[in-house]
Amino acid sequence: MIMARKRKLTDCLPIVKQAKQGDPLRKVVEQPQPGGSKAKSKTLKSEKQDAEDTAPLEKLVKFDLDWQFGPCTGITRMERWQRAQDLGLRPPQDIKQILLTHSADPQYQHNLWSTYAI
Tell me: the pLDDT tens digits for 53-83? 568 999 999 999 999 999 888 899 999 999 9
- Are 27 and 17 a contacting pair, CB within 8 Å? yes
Cβ density class 47-64: b for 16+ within 10 Å, e for less: eeeeeeeeebeeebeebb
pLDDT of residue 7: 74
Instruction: Delimit the domains of the chain by residue range.
Output: 1-44, 47-118
pLDDT at 55 (0 to 100): 86
Quote the CA–CA distance of 8 and 114 in Å, as a whole number: 14
Cα Rg for the chain, rounded, in angstroms?
18
Cβ-in-10-Å burial (0-12, 13-18, 19+) of 111 comes to buried
Which segments in the chain show pLDDT lower than 50?
A: 37-44
The confidence score (pLDDT) of residue 44 equals 46
Alpha carbon distance 91, 100 (integer Å): 14
Q: What pLDDT does 59 receive?
A: 92
